[in-house]
């Protein structure tokens, strides 16, 4: 590489206001995340209007903080990358407009980034990418198997037909009266429970890499209701462990099959559910003797952050892609 580049990342697609500075797409200089979880907890989920208001309040504070304890100044910044979608439109708009304002004021190029590309590129802080690679993306809004033959190109080979994995975790957590976000709560309970309840696995048609979690979710509801009607008390940790076993088995098996079929050189796991201990353990074990390198980000880079947006933005920057100041938030942006 001729010259080091420094990219600022901005992420506001859901309930984290985040700004980061990344060097050459692989080194985190600063990474600030202001979480809104406490504000949304009492509603049992993210309230879009509240999320937007918090982003407005937090953006300048987080932006300043990202530059505070580092030796980098705006003069050295090469471009500003921002999540343009998918996500909550009101929340995305705050990030996009902030990025546009700063890009204009500081006279820096602007780069729109797909949120899922960001999750995938969080792995570049762990390992250099080796193509073709397969990414299992599991977040609150997405569950996808993505094939990448080169930087910046994404082919979705399978996706959920209903709920995303994280969404299923959050819904089951609610049934168990656990606080938002439910994923980490179920993960914790699952580690002390037993997989004593047999929940279904949605394999779908032969050879399909799509996913489905709505049947599993209904099965958990029915099991809880039926037990209640019989006056039986099911242990929450056993429900959590059994539910998690179903999710993890399907995610791991389908990833393994696809990795073999597409003869990939690397497998990466991305998104909030990649923080799940059960999934991390199962997928590590599954790939341990295959010779295929596996990358899973550390927990703070699995959930939403801006370092991943800067990392994905770095690739676009190096490929000469730029967005205009007419960049708009796109809540249903497609990964391509």
Alpha helices in the chain (DSSP H): 37-41, 48-68, 89-106, 115-121, 165-175, 182-190, 214-229, 236-261, 277-287, 299-302, 307-318
193 touching ligand KG4, by CB under 6 A:
no
Residue 31 binds what, of Zn ion, ligand KG4, none (CB under 5 to 8 Å, by partner type)? none
Choices 73-81, 121-129, 296-304, 327-335; region in contact with Zn ion by CB under 5 A: 296-304
303 touching ligand KG4, by CB under 6 A:
yes
181 touching ligand KG4, by CB under 6 A:
yes
Residue 86 binds what, of Zn ion, ligand KG4, none (CB under 5 to 8 Å, by partner type)? none
Choices 2-10, 61-69, 171-179, 299-307; region in contact with Zn ion by CB under 5 A: 299-307
Nearer Cβ to Zn ion, position 15 or 210?
A: 15
273 touching ligand KG4, by CB under 6 A:
yes
Note if the bond before 90 is cis, omega within 30 degrees. Answer: no
187 touching ligand KG4, by CB under 6 A:
yes
Counted residue by residue, the chain has a size of: 336
85 touching ligand KG4, by CB under 6 A:
no
Pairwise CA distance, residues 324 & 217, whole Å: 43
Residue 183 binds what, of Zn ion, ligand KG4, none (CB under 5 to 8 Å, by partner type)? ligand KG4
Q: What angle do CA 321, 139, 270 make, to 5 degrees?
A: 60
Q: Candidates 30, 139, 314, 316: give the one binding Zn ion (CB under 5 A).
A: 139
Instruction: Give the bridge partners for 301, in sequence order.
Output: none
Pairwise CA distance, residues 330 & 15, whole Å: 17
CB-CB contact of 258 with 288 (8 Å): no
Pairwise CA distance, residues 311 & 102, whole Å: 19
Pairwise CA distance, residues 69 & 153, whole Å: 35
Residue 108 three-state SS: coil
167 touching Zn ion, by CB under 5 A:
no
- What's the closest the beta carbon of residue 76 comes to Zn ion, in angstroms? 28
304 touching Zn ion, by CB under 5 A:
yes
- What's the closest the beta carbon of residue 265 comes to Zn ion, in angstroms? 25
306 touching ligand KG4, by CB under 6 A:
no
User: Can you give the binding site for ligand KG4, defined by CB under 6 A?
Assistant: 14, 139-141, 166, 169-170, 181-184, 187, 271-273, 275-276, 303-304
């Amino acid at each position: 590489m001729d010259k080091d580049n420094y990219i600022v990342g901005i992420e506001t697609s859901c309930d984290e206001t985040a700004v980061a500075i990344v060097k050459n797409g692989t080194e985190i200089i600063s990474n600030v995340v202001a979480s809104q979880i406490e504000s949304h907890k009492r509603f049992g989920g993210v309230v879009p209007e509240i999320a937007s208001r918090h982003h407005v309040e937090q953006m300048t504070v987080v932006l300043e903080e990202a530059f505070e304890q580092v030796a980098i100044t705006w003069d050295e910044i090469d471009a500003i990358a921002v999540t343009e979608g998918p996500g909550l439109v009101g929340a995305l708009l705050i990030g996009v407009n902030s990025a546009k304002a700063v890009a204009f004021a500081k006279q820096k190029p602007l780069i729109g980034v797909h949120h899922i590309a960001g999750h995938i590129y969080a792995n570049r802080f762990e390992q250099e990418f080796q193509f073709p690679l397969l990414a299992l993306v599991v977040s609150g809004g997405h569950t996808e198997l993505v094939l990448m033959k080169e930087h910046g190109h994404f082919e979705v080979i399978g996706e959920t037909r209903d709920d995303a994995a994280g969404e299923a975790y959050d819904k089951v957590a609610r049934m168990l009266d656990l606080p938002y976000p439910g994923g980490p709560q179920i993960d914790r309970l699952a580690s002390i429970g037993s997989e004593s309840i047999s929940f279904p696995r949605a394999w779908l048609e032969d050879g399909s890499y799509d996913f489905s979690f709505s049947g599993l979710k209904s099965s958990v509801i029915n099991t809880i209701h039926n037990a209640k009607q019989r006056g039986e008390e099911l242990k929450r940790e056993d429900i959590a462990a059994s539910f998690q076993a179903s999710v993890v088995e399907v995610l791991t098996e389908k990833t393994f099959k696809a990795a073999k079929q597409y003869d990939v050189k690397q497998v990466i796991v991305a998104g909030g559910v990649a923080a799940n201990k059960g999934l991390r353990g199962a997928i590590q074990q599954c790939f341990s003797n295959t010779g295929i390198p596996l990358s899973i980000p550390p927990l703070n880079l699995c959930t939403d952050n801006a370092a991943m947006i800067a990392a994905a933005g770095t690739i676009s920057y190096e490929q000469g892609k730029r967005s205009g100041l007419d960049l708009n938030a796109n809540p249903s942006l497609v990964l391509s």
